[in-house]
Amino acid sequence: MLFDQLLAGLREGNGSKVFSQVSAWHLATSILLISFITLVIDYSYMLWRRSKLPPGPFPWPIVGNTFMLPENKPWIWFEELSKEYDAPLVTVWIGRNPTIWINDAWTASELFEKRAGIYSSRPRMLVFAELGAGQDNLVNMYTTSPEQRERWRAHRKLIHHGVGVQSVRRYREFQNNESRVVAYDLLKAPEHYVKSFERYATSVVSIIAFGRRVESWDDPIITEVIAVMHLAADLNVPGKTFPMLMETFPFLAKFPNEIAPWKYGLGKKRSAHFFYALADEAAKKEGHEDSFVKYLFGESPKYNLNEADISSLAGNLFGAGSDTSSSTLITFILACCAFPEVLIPAWEELDRVVGPHRSPSWEDEENLPYVKAFVKEVLRWRSVAIIGGQPHAPTQDDYYKGWLIPKGTWIQGNVWAIHHNEREFPDPDRFNPNRFLAGHPDSRPFPGERGYMTFGWGRRVCSGQALAEQGTWITVARVLWGFNIQKKKRADGSTVEVDIFNYTNGLNMRPQPFECSITPRSEEIRQTIEHEGKQALEDLEQYRGETKYRMSTFYSRNDLAMNRYGDDTKGS
């Protein structure tokens, strides 16, 4: 037929036009044929790889399982898949790339702890790392080459100086005083418990980082940093909407921001760094020579730190510490409201060991086993970093139970599934501190002495774990000692119920707002809280200070307008 059309065209003198039409048709069909063959080869390769990986839902060509992801809380779906395939690991394809999810505590311990030497790197994270916080940020650094490992160790050493296990004991005095102020604030304005916890957590890390406390819960630096941290956390959760959809279609990230609204401003290069400005301002002020930022500037020549390095190290400490710690304390209040029976043993123990004329101290910890178990259950019951922080990636091909885990693969621990496994935690949604009492019938074997995996694993465990555990213990113990926490009663006598499943959707999850009642347990305790709170404020006067910088105006002054995601959340 094509030959007949060509002859007819030549007879009519339209040969060039026919040749043009034939060439265009031939080109189009060739492109389609080549594309189809390429697609078949690529999909065949995906299926061949799938046969070697842990089980999971069948992926579609190009898009994988992306559009099977639920709208909210995908970690629950990963848990369900693990049960469906009866496997501790499941594979979910994000586009053409497999992601492996660990839903079992013993498997997480085996891979991330016992094989930490090969699971300490990061995979390629297009949205959160390359377009967001930066691949050079400590939390995102690769460790696949000797140079990368050396740089990672240097940054890790620096952050450990600020919040490592040995360092955090130096902070107990002001952390204790800030905790006393929390109790004092709850006495005066219990309805603002969320703001009290956010001010407390932000103030502690601000003193560590900058030598300056945060006095008021209305300080913009609290709301701005925590809001930005919530947005940044969303960039760690796989999704089927933008901007996370760029992980499935990475070519979309190459478009300029001006014509790519789906990027939400991610990938803009900043000429100035918000947390560097805060650090530089604090470092130039007299006093508090032991602040983290003064240490960073002092070590800068030794470690060849640039402005972005200092910004990211200070920003990671400040941003992450404020959000996660406050979210944990809000979960604590929710648990008290939903399970009032667990308060009675705590009160009995605190009354016996501490009494009403002083609040608990760290010296009481070993004499308060139930309260200690209570804090552990807070960290287990609704862990903040619900998918264990950023993903890991093996630096070489590895095998587990016959399944291949390829080099560089995105592999992540599903803390939700790990902490809700009936084998280790029967009736897992019930808040039950007895799980962490040695010898109690509710206690079950669990890898690791802590009994939970809230802070991640191995060499990528959360740097601020010791600080968070220390602060959570003293604050939970003090609030338990001081207050009766219960569901709120309406004027007509009815009860305002709470929902233990109503949590935010980001990596660092926290309860959605809820009402409750927080009242002092006795008049003697109320007087003690008031006395200790006033004394704490006097002791904290040495950390009084103010910054001229606000995140909401900083970038506009530098002609770098902030947008929803294109910010400096991690000091990038």
305-327 pLDDT per residue, tens = 999 999 999 998 877 778 899 99
Average pLDDT over residues 206-210: 96
Max intra-chain CA distance, the chain: 111
Residue 92, phi then psi, degrees to nearest 5: -125, 125
Cα angle at 13 between 10 and 15, to 5 degrees? 55
Which CATH code is given to the segment(s) 53-546? Answer: 1.10.630.10
Average pLDDT over residues 243-267: 93
**pLDDT band at residue 6 under the 50/70/90 scheme:** very low
Average pLDDT over residues 37-44: 94
**What does pLDDT average to over the chain?**
91
User: Mean pLDDT lowest for which of 277-291, 479-493, 540-554?
Assistant: 540-554
User: Mean pLDDT lowest for which of 25-29, 302-306, 465-469?
Assistant: 25-29
Q: Is the pLDDT of residue 221 over 90?
A: no
Instruction: Say what the pTM is.
Output: 0.92
* Contacts for 56 with CB less than 8 Å, ≥ 6 apart: 50, 65, 81, 85, 90, 91, 92, 93, 98
Q: Give the Å distances, CA to CA, from 335 to 429, 499, 543, 562.
A: 10, 10, 33, 37
pLDDT at 558: 45
| Residue 259, CA atoms < 13 Å, CB-side half-sphere | 4
Tokens representing 297 are: 């500037």
For residue 306, what is the enclosing H or E element? none
User: Mean pLDDT lowest for which of 78-82, 127-131, 369-373?
Assistant: 127-131
* SS3 assignment for 392-436: EECCCCEEECCEEECCCCEEEECHHHHHCCCCCCCCCCCCCHHHH
Tokens representing 230 are: 């919530």
Tens of pLDDT, residue by residue over 62-71, are 999 999 999 9
Ranges 27-31, 352-356, 490-494, most confident = 352-356
pLDDT at 21: 60
**Sign, Cα dihedral of 570, 170, 526, 366:** positive
Q: Is the pLDDT of residue 299 over 60?
A: yes
Contact criterion met (CB below 8 Å) for 246 and 257: no
For residue 231, what is the enclosing H or E element? helix 220-234
**pLDDT band at residue 15 under the 50/70/90 scheme:** low
